[in-house]
Structure 1
Amino acid sequence: MDDLATRTPGGETPEVIAADEVTWDVETDVLVAGGGGTGLVAALAASEASDLQVTVLEKSPECGGNTSLSTGMVPAAGTRLQQEAGIEEAPVDMARDILEKNHYEADEERVRYLCEEAVELIHWLVDDWDVTLHLVDDFKYPKHSEYRMHAPDGRNGANLVEELVARVEATPNVELLTNAPVTRLVAADGAVRGVVAGARRDEAIRAERVILATDGFAGNREMVTDYCEADVEQALYFGADGNTGDGVRWGAELGGELACMDAYQGHATVASGTGMLSTYAVVMNGGVLVNEAGKRFGDESAGYSEFAIDVLKQPGGIGYELFDERIFERLRGSFEDFDAAIDAGTYASADSVESLASTLGCDADATAAAVERYNEAARADEPDEVGRTDGVAVLEPPFYGAKVTGALFHTQGGLVVDEYARVLRTDGSAVGNLYAGGGTACGISGHGAGGYLSGNGLTTALGYGRLAGIHARESLR
């Protein structure tokens, strides 16, 4: 257990109450707390035993959580979709990329297991549940060595969530309720027996198995301050409203081990004017960032999470994203969030870098010089002044750009779980009847923001969700 995990999150109000303190109002077999990607996938997996009753409680008015705010791209290495595109790789290749990005700070065994699970996850979603996913083979996110992103229509997580919700609602033995927050766990003899839930009045629900799918704590400013680095404390929060650390606190009170609590996913290019996400495909197709003085301040291809801190450290926490019409036209119509950003008036355009820089508010001459040096390195196929070699392309007029800032999307630290997504105590024993996934569980990004590799969030969200649902289902047979 790392040092950060010695501080158990929580307050004066008990997060867990004893079973002899409640009178059960209703019963279910599998209770899923949270209706984001983790919870929806867990419900589908558990529902495959038709004699079990599965109940999903989402505290927000709509399902989705952070999954609906993402691109919905799920990485997997060794899928049929890759093979059909002539791509041959194995889960170990994806695991290597993840571990190299986090400098082997994540649990290696768990990373490799989740990478193997990712292949089964993609095939299960596509073949068993008719979920729409296609292989993205026109660009790679930073530090991915192969095309392995499997995306929904529009490369938009909201579309993935819409399909998952439709499948859940069409499954007879699953009940899905929104505006229904789980507020406490109910336990006896160290094992979970159910939950207390309800927005207007408490209802005690007895459950044989409980799956925590409440995401992380990025929306809880106190917990972010306690666990994450100082530079991200005041970052624009771009995650779902429900990410208040509920499941992390509940599991910790039952003795669940916490790990990598300082880990989080940031994003370097959220438009400061419109608040719209400027997809990092802009950068990975050749875009660059400068600061107010027109100076490049780092290798943008390090990744959108790691580079978010670099942006926040600039004057005013602002960077200026620059790209060209080739990139603009390549992305328009391919990413729904990019199209939405265009519609919101996020991007300015001009025939020269100097004119664009003047419009955006950064030093015109210095910015033009920085772009020219970048272009010279690209033409020579050499590292540029910040050492960048990945996703490089010559930028030509007309140019586009936006004023951007760093943002906090979601946390990556949480409860330690096993290969079945069961919550573990510090002695390695499992908390009875309790599972966790997604942001509630410890992720695979190591520490801080730099270890996050694109797709890590959905790897643990959907991966652990499916594993939890399978084990909960099979353990009740």
Structure 2
Amino acid sequence: MSSPAVLRGAAPGADAMHVPVAIIGAGACGLTAALRLADAGIETVLIERDAVPSGSTALSSGFIPAAGSAAQLAAGIEDDAARFAADIQAKAHGTAAPHLVAAYTGAAAAALDNLARHGLAFEVLDGFLYPGHTARRMHTLPERTGAALVAALERAATGAGAYLLTRALARRIWADEDGRISAVGCERPDGSMDVIGCDVLILACNGFGGNAAMVGEHLPAMRDAVYGGHAGNDGSAIEWGRQLGARLADLGGYQGHGSWATPQGALVSWAVMMDGGVQINREGRRFHDETRGYSEAAVHVLAQPGGVAWNVFDSRTLALARGFPDFVQAEAGQALKTCADLPALAALIGCGADTLGRTLADVRPGGLGVDGRRFERALQAPYHAVKVTGALFHTQGGLDIDAQCRVLDRAGLALPNLLAAGGAARGVSGNDVSGYLSGNGLLSAVAGGHIAAATAAALLKRELVQDSGNQPCRTRI
């Protein structure tokens, strides 16, 4: 496999296969963009490395946060974009890019409503709030899986007329000296290369979580962590951007997860923690406030003896957890252990019963943990437990973009016809793992894809005007 490269000059054979818009990556971001472009009658091709679209979206729970959607309104939930934006900034301690927070929270509901018009039957997740959210705004399909979300998006996009080119690994981009993209080169399984000419290119190919060298450089806390994301997240977008002189931002931001069942390698829903569950280390102690977020929990879990912890909860929470397919998968892999009483739980964990008893004594109505967590109820025997470790899921930093998803160069000028969204671009989590608000990844993907499509359409319209005699220019951001 060749390295990502930007080549200067004319692309050989680009005239033979040419589309107005090419999109690299057929995950939630690319498919959302392609669907909106198809609705506008703009010919688009999605370039996808896998045989079937999957990516980080398929590996997620498929929950998309949005404020003011038709589904949310139908459920009688009071919420708006300003409140959503405030929650994002509160989680990121004010460090999330303000222009993207405003753009994404403002576009998310419209993006979901458009998807709903194409048959995606969203409902709002009920029963609990994810950490940092002050309203129920997680939208899910009835299947509650990322795989179902990707499949539904693919059906909608291709049904509307978008072209999907699978088993096509984008590796080359042709551009002129001003950074104007003219074509993409895709490696095929037989070693041949297809060259696709385009007027606008959207990078929707996620981040660098699958690139060990880049993870070691930018995310040292995750250097030895399990990677739960897609292998295709190899940093290609960043490498192309560097060669084009693009600016990078928030490379220290990422989504971790402190509830990766080990050794099964399955995600255990954080609903377990938000419903009253706790994380216990090998010494029988809690070690952080679990309600602050599952992303930074990855770092806390990895810092424990052996880099592991036990999710401990009771039968009420077990009933809730079994409503999530990822938990069902973990249980099918024998991750769930049940203990009749506290001594049995201590024996499972390998800690002293006295120490564990003192730890769980704080878990009671009105109880306050040493980390500041306030409990609403006690855990009731029998106890259920899952052994977990911390994992890296996807990165939240990348190409710097403006509110229209245009890629910026190092001087803050928008490159002529290169757009990026989702994991390929800077997200809304700031520059640290603790800034990740639940759902930020799919927010950036779906809202970003929706916005990028509108920008691509506007650029194509401007190109028609320029062909009539006007001269192109860059805009300082």
TM exceeding 0.5:
yes
C-alpha separation between the residues in 2 aligned to 1:362 and 1:348? 16
For 1:337-376, list aligned pairs within 5 A: 337-375=326-364
For 1:198-347, list aligned pairs within 5 A: 198-199=187-188, 200-228=191-219, 230-332=220-322, 334-347=323-336
Q: Structure 1 pair 102/367, CA: closer, same or farther in 2 (3 Å)?
A: same
Alignment partner, residue 152 of structure 2: 163
Alignment partner, residue 4 of structure 1: none
Deviations 1:395-454 (Å, cap 9, x if unpaired)?
101110011100000000001111221111122211111111111000000012100000
> Is residue 186 of structure 2 the alignment partner of residue 197 of structure 1?
yes
Q: Contact conserved, 1:62 with 1:178, CA < 8 A, in 2? A: yes
C-alpha separation between the residues in 2 aligned to 1:468 and 1:40? 11
Q: Structure 1 pair 95/353, CA: closer, same or farther in 2 (3 Å)?
A: same
| 1:289 aligned counterpart, secondary structure | strand
Q: Contact conserved, 1:32 with 1:39, CA < 8 A, in 2? A: yes
Alignment partner, residue 88 of structure 1: 78
Alignment partner, residue 389 of structure 1: 374
C-alpha separation between the residues in 2 aligned to 1:363 and 1:300? 22
1:177 to 157, 165, 183: 165
1:26 to 17, 23, 35: 17
> Is residue 135 of structure 2 the alignment partner of residue 141 of structure 1?
no
Alignment partner, residue 30 of structure 2: 39
Amino acid aligned to 1:149:
M
Q: C-alpha displacement at 1:13, in angstroms?
A: 5.6
C-alpha separation between the residues in 2 aligned to 1:53 and 1:99? 37
Q: C-alpha displacement at 1:154, in angstroms?
A: 2.7
Q: Contact conserved, 1:47 with 1:473, CA < 8 A, in 2? A: no
For 1:8-23, list aligned pairs within 5 A: 15-20=5-10, 22-23=12-13
| 2:164 aligned counterpart, secondary structure | strand
Amino acid aligned to 1:215:
N
Q: Contact conserved, 2:170 with 2:185, CA < 8 A, in 1? A: yes
Alignment partner, residue 454 of structure 2: 470
Q: C-alpha displacement at 1:352, in angstroms?
A: 0.9
Percent identical = 37
| 2:209 aligned counterpart, secondary structure | coil
Q: C-alpha displacement at 1:21, in angstroms?
A: 5.5
Alignment partner, residue 432 of structure 1: 416
C-alpha separation between the residues in 2 aligned to 1:445 and 1:453? 7
For 1:118-133, list aligned pairs within 5 A: 118-127=108-117, 129-133=118-122
> Is residue 433 of structure 2 the alignment partner of residue 445 of structure 1?
no
C-alpha separation between the residues in 1 aligned to 2:4 and 2:205? 18
Alignment partner, residue 5 of structure 1: none
> Is residue 405 of structure 2 the alignment partner of residue 416 of structure 1?
no
Q: Contact conserved, 1:193 with 1:433, CA < 8 A, in 2? A: no
C-alpha separation between the residues in 2 aligned to 1:58 and 1:338? 29
Q: C-alpha displacement at 1:372, in angstroms?
A: 2.1
> Is residue 103 of structure 2 the alignment partner of residue 113 of structure 1?
yes
Q: Contact conserved, 1:276 with 1:341, CA < 8 A, in 2? A: yes
Amino acid aligned to 2:229:
G
TM-score by length of 1: 0.92
Q: C-alpha displacement at 1:152, in angstroms?
A: 1.4
| 1:450 aligned counterpart, secondary structure | helix
TM-score by length of 2: 0.92
| 1:309 aligned counterpart, secondary structure | helix
Q: Contact conserved, 2:417 with 2:459, CA < 8 A, in 1? A: no
Q: Contact conserved, 1:292 with 1:363, CA < 8 A, in 2? A: no
C-alpha separation between the residues in 1 aligned to 2:377 and 2:181? 55
Amino acid aligned to 1:96:
A
C-alpha separation between the residues in 1 aligned to 2:355 and 2:51? 48
Please, what is the CA RMSD of the aligned residues?
1.6
Alignment partner, residue 403 of structure 1: 387
Q: Contact conserved, 1:131 with 1:163, CA < 8 A, in 2? A: yes
Q: Contact conserved, 2:121 with 2:141, CA < 8 A, in 1? A: yes
Q: Contact conserved, 1:297 with 1:310, CA < 8 A, in 2? A: yes
Q: C-alpha displacement at 1:473, in angstroms?
A: 2.3
| 2:411 aligned counterpart, secondary structure | coil
Q: C-alpha displacement at 1:27, in angstroms?
A: 1.2
Q: C-alpha displacement at 1:14, in angstroms?
A: 6.5
Amino acid aligned to 1:91:
A
Amino acid aligned to 2:146:
G
C-alpha separation between the residues in 1 aligned to 2:408 and 2:224? 32
C-alpha separation between the residues in 1 aligned to 2:172 and 2:419? 15
| 1:154 aligned counterpart, secondary structure | coil
1:154 to 143, 168, 172: 143
Amino acid aligned to 1:359:
L
Structure 1 segments of 4+ aligned residues over 6 angstroms from their partners: none
> Is residue 101 of structure 2 the alignment partner of residue 101 of structure 1?
no
Q: Contact conserved, 1:320 with 1:362, CA < 8 A, in 2? A: no
Alignment partner, residue 6 of structure 1: none
Deviations 1:134-155 (Å, cap 9, x if unpaired)?
0112111111111111111232
Amino acid aligned to 2:194:
E
C-alpha separation between the residues in 2 aligned to 1:14 and 1:323? 46
C-alpha separation between the residues in 1 aligned to 2:4 and 2:390? 35
C-alpha separation between the residues in 1 aligned to 2:225 and 2:154? 31
Q: Contact conserved, 1:356 with 1:399, CA < 8 A, in 2? A: yes
| 2:362 aligned counterpart, secondary structure | helix
Q: Structure 1 pair 177/297, CA: closer, same or farther in 2 (3 Å)?
A: same
Unaligned runs of 5+ in 2: 462-477
Unaligned runs of 5+ in 1: 1-11
Task: Please say which of residues 208-217 and 103-112 is displaced more in the overlay.
Answer: 103-112
Q: C-alpha displacement at 1:272, in angstroms?
A: 1.2
Q: Contact conserved, 2:309 with 2:389, CA < 8 A, in 1? A: yes
Q: C-alpha displacement at 1:113, in angstroms?
A: 1.8
For these two proteins, the number of residue pairs brought into alignment is: 456
Q: Contact conserved, 1:194 with 1:209, CA < 8 A, in 2? A: no
Amino acid aligned to 1:152:
L
C-alpha separation between the residues in 1 aligned to 2:238 and 2:19? 23
Amino acid aligned to 1:212:
L
Alignment partner, residue 466 of structure 2: none
